Amino acid sequence: MSNIVSRHIRLKNRIVGMPKESDFELIEAPLSEPAAGEVLVQNLYTSVDPYMRGGMRSAELGKPLEGRCAGQIVESNSDQFQVGDYVTGMLGWRDHYVAPAERVTAVDTTIAPLQSFLGAVGMPGRTAYFGFLEIGQPKAGETVFVSAAAGAVGSIVCQIAKIKGCRVVASAGSDQKVAWLLETAGVDAAFNYKNVDDLEAELRKHCPDGLDIYFENVGGRHLQAALAVMNMHGRIPLCGMISQYNDIEPTPGPTNLSAAIGKRIKLQGFIVTDFMERNAEFYRDMREWIGESKIQWEETIIEGLENAPKAFIALFTGEKLGKIIVKVGSE
- CATH class of the domain at 123-273: alpha beta
User: How far apart (Å, rounded) are the C-alpha atoms in residues 70 and 91?
Assistant: 9
> Which residues, in sequence order, are bridge partners of residue 100?
38
Q: List the chain domain ranges.
A: 5-119+298-327, 123-273
Whether the per-residue pLDDT at 200 is higher than 70: the answer is yes
pLDDT tops 80 at residue 117: yes
Element (H, E) at 29: strand 24-30
- Output the average pLDDT for the chain: 94
Give the mean pLDDT of 145-174: 98
What pTM does this model have?
0.92
Tell me the per-residue pLDDT of 225-248, one tens digit each, with 9 for 90 and over.
Answer: 999 999 999 999 999 887 676 656
Are both 5-119+298-327 and 123-273 of the same fold?
no
User: Could you give the angle at the alpha carbon of 123 between the alpha carbons of 74 and 296, nearest 5°?
Assistant: 100
3-state SS, residue 39: strand
Domain 5-119+298-327 maps to which CATH number in 3.30.420.10, 3.40.50.720, 3.90.180.10, 3.40.50.150?
A: 3.90.180.10
